[in-house]
Amino acid sequence: MAADLPHTMEPADSGASASTGADAHGAVHVHIASSRFYVGIFAALICLTIATVKVSYYDFGAANIVLALVIATMKASLVAAFFMHLRHDNLFNTIAFLAAFVFLGIFILLTYDDTGYRGQVDNDYGGKIDPRTGQGAAGGEPATSATADSVAAEKAPGAVVGKKE
């Protein structure tokens, strides 16, 4: 009998976007792209993949990672917008999707802020040092032992991990 209970809630078509809507019967109506269009998106993705591999053979310094991530984001946007239908979907789905990246950004920034500046915050602690900076750090290594880098330098001169002097 539960199936016969009336609903006061409006059906989804009132809130949906024009393309993922419903007719008066409440049937699903979605935007259907042509096969040729999907193949075109695939071709664009392959071109971007070749571009990102080619670019990796040149040394642009710090720009390498920026370029790689920009191309990856272009590819991800194509996949999300067209293969995953976000372009013609309810806007709220896009918001849910993008919200994940906002929170991921907050997560990474705050973690970086914590780990990146520990040595400075705990400068007076004295007991431990940060092996990277040589500064005091509560989360670092005991100041009495040699740092990993100087041990490494003895073992394999010429292949030393960069250490700021």
In contact, 152 and 160? CB cutoff 8 Å = yes
Least distance CB 127 / other proteins (angstroms): 21
Of 41 and 143, nearer to other proteins (C-beta) is 41
The CA distance from 123 to 120, in Å, is: 5
Query: Among candidates 48, 47, 7, 45, which has minimal Cα distance to 26?
Result: 7
Give the shortest CB-135-to-other proteins separation in angstroms: 14
Q: How far is the CB of 94 from other proteins (least distance, A)?
A: 8
Q: Report the residue number, 8 or 124, with the smaller CB distance to other proteins.
A: 8
CB of 113 to other proteins, least distance (A): 11
Which DSSP symbol is given to 152? H
Residue 112, classed as helix, strand or coil, is helix
> Based on CB atoms, which residue is closest to other proteins, 45 or 143?
45
Question: Whose Cβ is closer to other proteins: residue 37's or residue 126's?
Answer: 37
Is residue 10 exposed (0-12), middle (13-18) or buried (19+ Cβ within 10 Å)? exposed
